[in-house]
Structures are given as structure tokens and as C-alpha cells.
Structure 1
Amino acid sequence: MLPPLADLLDSARVVSLPMHTRFRGVDTREALLFEGPEGWAEFSPFLEYEDAEASTWLAAAIDFAWRPQPAPVRDLIRVNATVPAVDPARVAEVLARFPGCRTAKVKVAEPGHSLADDVARVRAVREAMGPEGRIRVDANGLWNVDEAEHAVHALAEFDLEYVEQPCASVEELAELRTRVKYMGIPVAADESVRKSDDPLAVARAKAADLLVIKAQPLGGVTHALQIVTAAGLPVVVSSALDTAIGLSQGAALAAALPALEFDCGLGTASLFLDDVADRRPVDGAIPAARAVPDASALDRLAAAPDRRDWWLERLGRCHAVLAAR
């Protein structure tokens, strides 16, 4: 059942979180939080998303706030460090915000950066983490197949755990996977799952070795678990640059998975200068328990009135989309 819009508006708080480093093109991350019978949830589709896509994120938030979640099978979730497209000289500073993390995800293919920049950044991560550290790279689908193949070759010396969404389309991923399979570097799919009308297409096409799963874009924990079961591939649970509230939804998903081979991308609270609750990694892990926002943090991080109005209007539009389905 869809709760009335008034019930969501009753507790709605819009926050703006400042970031240490520009990431995904933003210096602050805005989100709308509300409380339901099961606790707090987050609605934070990226600003450029249209209402049809954003409404799936709202469905996930309502599910998390109004319905009991699947039973957890683990209490702690091991997470990776996230290294934005920073200068190599800043890598050690970034990694220091992720204490105990044995895995690092490094952003590559950033507009305005060259492959040489990416190689230098990944080299700095390898030097900082040592030979036992696990390194994965994320291109957000910005390479074509030839560029991706060239990049994988250039980065292979750093013993990559996998390369995430190197190309945009399922067809390109499938071709690249064929080209680099002999190198033993797995291909992971993210956008090809969360932004697809058919999130199982990448698995059917054998275009990826593993999937990156995010609770908000996939409509909530239960629906994401159904996708994982149907895909039959290993998964990494990751965040969508969530606040601590959204991270706890991702943690609920990771905690409910029968098997969890890879460290999860749920340590992104360390990218923020401030948050509504503390979900920064401790000893390389975060708790699976639901987060509760601090009242003073909600006040301290409150978005400007015009931004609050923008988010409340967006909430109303997306609620109408769900009501019409």
C-alpha cells in the first residue's frame, strides 16, 4: 500500500551535505528524509533524473520506512574506500578517511582527465595500500570498447579486482568481456543494472562477471534481492552517494544476502564533511543496523528554503507517479 503523501510530508526533512572533494560533479549532496513506522528512510535521486526514474527511488524509501525488511544474516558489512578523481598526491589523504578498509574503488575516465592521469592515480593507490590491497576501478560507462580495452591493459599491472561499468551498453560490455577475458580481470555492471528497464539483461547476455547493486535505484531491498537471485551472479552492494540513512538501507540489503564475496561500496560517508548520523567505516566495516538521524544534525544540515521547496515538490510529483501505477 502507498501511504498518503501527507504522511511523508509530516516528517520530511531536506538536508544538504558538504563533501571533502567534488564527486560525481557535485560539492554538496542533497537528500530528503522522512520517517515511517519502521524508521527513517531516504529519497535522494540525483537532481537530473526525471520523475519516472526518481519515483523508483521513492518506492524504495517508502518500502524501507513502512515495511519490515528481510532478516539479516550478518551484523557487519565490510566496505571499500572510494577514491575520487583526485591528484595522486592526495590519494593517501583520501584513504586515511577509510580506516581499516582493505579494498579501494578508484574513479577513472573522469571528463577532463587522461588515461595517464588514471594510471598515476591507481599507481598511487597501489603504493599506499601495498600488494595485499584490493583495487577496483569505476569508469561509469565513459569509455568505448577500444578505449576500455586499452585502459584495462594499461591498468592491469596494478592487479585489479575488477573494472566497473567500463562501457555504457550491454553489447559493449559483452564485447569487452570477450576481449579481456584472457587477462583474468572481471567486468562488473552498475548502470546497466540500475538504469535499465530490464536489470537482468546484462546477466542474460553474459556481459558481466558480477553486478553492482544499489537499493534506492532498484526500488528497495526486497526487489533488489529478487534481481540478485534471478541474475545468479556475485554482487557488490553499493551506495548512490547516500546519507547515513540511505547507507543503512544499503547495509540492510548487504546483510540479507546469502553470500557476500566482495567488500561493499557502502563506506561513502567518509566522502562527506558532515552527515545526519555517523556511518563512517570503523575497522573497514559499517553496522547493518538501521541509522537514526541526529536532531541537531538535521537542523545543522538543513537545505536552503528554495531547495527544500524543490524537493517537496519533487516528492509530490513522484508520489503521484507511484499512485498512478
Structure 2
Amino acid sequence: MQPLDFGLRAEDILATAHVVDLPLNTRFRGLDRREALVFEGPRGWSEFSPFVEYLPAEASTWLAAAIDFAYAPEPTLLRTEVAVNATVPAVPAAEVPRVLARFPGCTTAKVKVAERGGTLAQDVERVAAVRAALGPGGLIRVDANGGWSVTEAEIALEALAPYGLEYAEQPCATVPELAELRTRIAGLGARIAADESVRKAEDPLAVARAGAADLLVIKAQPLGGIARARDIVAAAGLPVVVSSALDTSVGLSMGARLAASLPDLSFACGLGTAALLAADVTDAPLVPENGVIHAERIDVNPDLLTRFVAAPERRDWWFDRVRACLHVLAEPGSSASNMTNRVTS
């Protein structure tokens, strides 16, 4: 999908755009606040919220997704609710019950590990606290964001094995490392999930072809939208978890509708992260209720857009970012503009 297919100019997006600055309940991914740009198209409200360190070449794919969600037809939805996991940031073990309380009904928890400055002992304590809170029937997955070497990952997953891991998400940074680790830990019974090796890769299918993962973590915004994410799922032939990137409820609704359109959705999805926000752009945030969120589009509250409006210089920065990303998408032969061909070839 290319934005120019809709005849769009930056002004068409920015005419309805609002930039918000939302506080978090708990520090997450090194952030205490989350900035995002939301805008309205013919299909409803959409979101453009790549993390601020991403340059236009990478952020442009997120803009393609936002435009797709605002303008393009959606696939048929196969369900109205999506089961979600709790997300536990790299907090001290004593804070785990407070975090899990924000995810009512969730029986699966994703636990952040391998945080810079943290230790394996702290990771084990955090996972142990989650197991104690969830009980023996709960499911625990850990997410290292590529922070371990193969040997570090092997040692860590052996230490965490007694707590019964559903899978380890992106334990190592590269596809060859994931493949080697998967062989080394075959006897542990812990599956390997690929996240960054899909959403940040020139070839999002390389990890599946290499046999380096048991399942894929799919995120609508970083992959260019619902249609392209569905193409990747179909081509990969692996089970998937649909997840998010600390979106507002508008962005989460994009992920929820992707998840609701997939024929096979065997795992709880990482789409409950609105519970980590202390504020949102809607009166009906997509926070977990009885362990699920609803696969519905979100209407924003203008009063909340005003209350949490970003500073003028940040608004200008985001508007300039939209223009820069549109320029990337318009370039013939760019990786972003050719992404559909790359997936289906």
C-alpha cells in the first residue's frame, strides 16, 4: 500500500491531526510519558506513533499503517473480542501485584526481562512473583527485546524454566542467534517468539524460513497496517501473537481488528497495554475486562485531546515527521513503498 494511492498530501492528514502527550502509570521501555499523533479519515480515527528515536525510513512504515487504517477497507472480522495478556514492566518483584491488578481477568502475563542495568536475579524474582500471583494455571511469557547473547539466553531460560514459560520473546537480537538458541534449549520446552526480527527486518519472513522461531509477534503499525500484517501471517505459516507498541486506544483498535480478522488466534494477544497509560484519548479506553478487549474502532474525546495536548514545539516536530515520512513513502523503489511486493514475492 502506498499513501499516494489515496491522492493524499500531508495537509490532508494534518488537517484533523492532534498530538498528545500521555502519562504512564509505570515506567515502561524507559518512558514515563507517551507521545502520539491521531487523525481522522473516512474510516474513522487512526494513529501514527513510532517511538521518537525512529528515523523516517523506519517511521514511514508506521505512517503507511495509519493511512491504511484511516482510508482503506478492512477485512472481515471473525470475532468481537480478543483475549489479551497482562504486561509486567521491569519492576521490582514487590510491585508485581500492583501491576497485575490493572489487567483484570488476564490469566497470561508477559514479563519484561534483560532490562539494561538489571540482573538475572531480578528477572527471576519478577517472574517468580508473577507465578505466585497467577497461580499454577497462569501462563507466563518473557520478553528480552534482544537483550541477551545466545549463552546468556540459555542460562537465563534454564533459570526461569521452573516457573513454566509459555515462550521467550526475542531473547537474542539476530535470526542466526535465535536459530542457535532454539537448538540449544530444545529440551526445556520453552518456545521462541520473534518480534524485532519481524517488525524491524528488511525481510520479515526470514526468521520463519530459517526455522529460528516457533511463533511470530505481529504488530500492525510497524508492519505497515492490517493488510500487510495479514499477508505476513499467511506467508509465514506460523502461529502468531498480535501485539502493540504502547499505543493509545486508537492504535490498539488497529491491532485488535487485525487480531479479530485472523482465522487462527491461539495465543492471548499483547493488546492490553492501555492499562499502562494513566490517560488516553477516549472515554472508552481498550483496557482489559475479564481478560479481553473489544475489537472496535475508537472515537476520541476532544476534551481529552485538549487536556493532554503536546507542547507546541512537539506538535511541530510530529507534523514535520509526517511530512518526512510521506516523502519516504512517495519515493519510487523505497523499501516502505515496495513492502507489499516484498511480502508476496
Q: TM-score, normalised by structure 1?
A: 0.99
Aligned mate of 2:146, from 125, 141, 146 = 141
User: Which residue identity does 2:129 align to in structure 1?
Assistant: A
User: Which residue identity does 2:294 align to in structure 1?
Assistant: P
Cα deviation for residue 311 of structure 1 reads 0.3
Aligned mate of 2:291, from 280, 284, 293 = 284
- Does residue 264 (structure 1) correspond to residue 269 (structure 2)? The answer is yes
CA RMSD in angstroms, aligned pairs only: 0.6
- 1:7-46 aligned within 5 A: 7-46=12-51
Cα deviation for residue 213 of structure 1 reads 0.2
- Does residue 241 (structure 1) correspond to residue 257 (structure 2)? The answer is no
- Does residue 120 (structure 1) correspond to residue 125 (structure 2)? The answer is yes
Structure 1 residues 286-321: Cα deviation after superposition (integer angstroms, max 9, x where no partner) = 110111111111111111111111100101111111
Cα deviation for residue 269 of structure 1 reads 0.2
- 1:185-224 aligned within 5 A: 185-224=190-229
Q: What secondary structure sits across from 2:316 in the alignment?
A: helix
Aligned to 2:80: 75
Aligned to 2:339: none
Structure 1 residues 30-81: Cα deviation after superposition (integer angstroms, max 9, x where no partner) = 0011110001110011111110110000000000000111110000000000
Number of equivalenced pairs: 325
User: Which residue identity does 1:320 align to in structure 2?
Assistant: H
- Does residue 255 (structure 1) correspond to residue 255 (structure 2)? The answer is no
Amino-acid identity (%):
64
Aligned to 1:110: 115
- 1:293-308 aligned within 5 A: 293-308=300-315
| 296-305 vs 154-163, greater mean Cα deviation | 296-305
Structure 1 residues 103-141: Cα deviation after superposition (integer angstroms, max 9, x where no partner) = 000000001110000000000000011001110000000
Q: TM-score, normalised by structure 2?
A: 0.93
- Take 2:172 and 2:328, find their aligned partners in 1: how far apart are those partners? 31
User: Which residue identity does 1:43 align to in structure 2?
Assistant: F
Aligned to 1:130: 135
Cα deviation for residue 172 of structure 1 reads 0.1
Unaligned runs of 5+ residues in structure 1 are none
- Does residue 315 (structure 1) correspond to residue 322 (structure 2)? The answer is yes
User: Which residue identity does 1:260 align to in structure 2?
Assistant: L
- Take 1:291 and 1:180, find their aligned partners in 2: how far apart are those partners? 42
- Take 2:153 and 2:87, find their aligned partners in 1: how far apart are those partners? 21
Aligned to 2:338: none
- Does residue 48 (structure 1) correspond to residue 53 (structure 2)? The answer is yes
